[in-house]
């Protein structure tokens, strides 16, 4: 049998590293919705040739975080109200599936995994730290999906959670008191640990529906994007 010359599997490619950095910049708002990405400019900033930058951007296009307009270039996506509704609909299905796996024997592990994000969210809410609450909100839902111990669910959730993070800034302004948002997550965590399964399911669905209603009220039916 011939031996193939594979590269070491633990070596992250330059394109992967650039994609990770662009993904994080989109998630945290450094690259704003609608921003155009220039291949040459990014290559200069990263200190690489244009090839890895092009590959990284195409990865994000395939993930739906960037979109290409012929003869114009590549841009960060802009989320409309319809997009937001679709994102939360998909998240409800995906996180609901994760919750079912958690309720089937993984409740103590999930309760422990959700602890750090809940504690951080409560602390940041007391300080009125919008960004800190958003970061903790993101971490909570990442931990929820990861607690299901299903790698495919984790991969499927990644883009949805990044898209969610893009509109969390708008969502924060809909809470007169950030502690209310923190309490929703506290209640959901407690329900996952000790309440009847239907209670946990109901709280997750209500949490998602509440976010959509708040965003709907915030941006109305305007065609403009977030």
Nearest-CA neighbor of 158 among 59, 75, 225? 59
Q: What percent of the chain has pLDDT over 90?
A: 56
Residues 6+ positions from 148 with CB-CB distance below 8 Å = 97, 98, 99, 101, 102, 106
Cβ(186)–Cβ(136) under 8 Å?
A: no
- Alpha-carbon distance of 128 to 188, in angstroms, equals 21
Phi and psi, residue 105, nearest 5°: 105, 5
Nearest-CA neighbor of 20 among 158, 226, 166, 168? 158
Residues 99-133 have pLDDT tens digits of 999 999 999 999 999 999 999 999 999 999 988 88
- Alpha-carbon distance of 136 to 189, in angstroms, equals 13
Strands (E) in 126-201, as ranges, are none
- Alpha-carbon distance of 126 to 157, in angstroms, equals 29
Q: What domains appear along the chain, each with residue ranges and CATH number? A: 14-76 (1.10.10.10), 81-219 (1.20.120.530)
The pLDDT of residue 7 is above 80: no
The pLDDT of residue 172 is above 80: no
Nearest-CA neighbor of 103 among 185, 189, 188, 200? 200
The pLDDT of residue 222 is above 80: no
Ramachandran sector of residue 2 (left: φ over 0; alpha: ψ -120 to 50; beta: rest): beta
* Per-residue model confidence (pLDDT) at position 219: 63
Cβ(35)–Cβ(76) under 8 Å?
A: yes
The pLDDT of residue 10 is above 90: no
Q: What percent of the chain has pLDDT over 70?
A: 87
Residues 49-80 have pLDDT tens digits of 999 999 999 999 988 889 999 889 999 988 88
Distance of CA 185 to the CA centre of its chain: 16
Nearest-CA neighbor of 60 among 11, 14, 17, 22? 22
Q: Tell me what the mean pLDDT of segment 193-198 comes to.
A: 95
* Per-residue model confidence (pLDDT) at position 170: 54
* Per-residue model confidence (pLDDT) at position 1: 43
* Per-residue model confidence (pLDDT) at position 79: 80
Cβ(133)–Cβ(186) under 8 Å?
A: no
Cβ(157)–Cβ(93) under 8 Å?
A: no
- The torsion of the CA quartet 98, 100, 105, 110, rounded to 10 degrees, works out to 40
- Alpha-carbon distance of 179 to 184, in angstroms, equals 9
Residues 28-45 have pLDDT tens digits of 778 888 899 999 999 999
36-37 β-sheet, strand order? 36-37, 73-76, 66-69
pLDDT category of residue 158 using cuts at 50, 70 and 90: confident
* Per-residue model confidence (pLDDT) at position 5: 55
Q: What is the mean pLDDT of the chain?
A: 86
């Amino acid at each position: 049998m011939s031996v193939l010359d594979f590269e070491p599997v633990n070596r992250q490619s330059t394109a992967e590293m650039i994609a990770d950095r662009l993904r994080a910049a989109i998630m945290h708002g450094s690259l704003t919705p609608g921003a155009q990405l220039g291949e040459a400019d990014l290559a200069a900033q990263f200190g690489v040739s244009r090839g890895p930058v092009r590959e990284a951007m195409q990865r994000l296009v395939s993930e739906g975080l960037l979109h290409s307009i012929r003869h114009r270039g590549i841009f960060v996506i802009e989320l409309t109200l319809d997009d937001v509704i679709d994102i939360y609909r998909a998240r409800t299905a995906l996180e609901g599936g994760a919750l079912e796996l958690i309720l089937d024997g993984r409740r103590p592990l999930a309760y422990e995994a959700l602890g750090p994000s809940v504690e951080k969210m409560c602390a940041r809410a007391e300080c009125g730290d919008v960004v800190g609450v958003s970061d903790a909100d993101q971490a909570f839902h990442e931990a929820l999906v990861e607690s299901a111990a299903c790698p495919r669910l984790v991969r499927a959730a990644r883009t949805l959670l990044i898209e969610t993070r893009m509109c969390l800034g708008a969502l924060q302004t809909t809470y007169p008191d950030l502690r209310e948002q923190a309490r929703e997550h506290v209640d959901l965590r407690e329900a996952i640990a000790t309440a009847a399964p239907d209670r946990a399911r109901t709280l997750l669905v209500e949490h998602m529906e509440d976010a959509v209603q708040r965003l709907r009220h915030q941006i109305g039916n305007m065609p403009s994007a977030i």
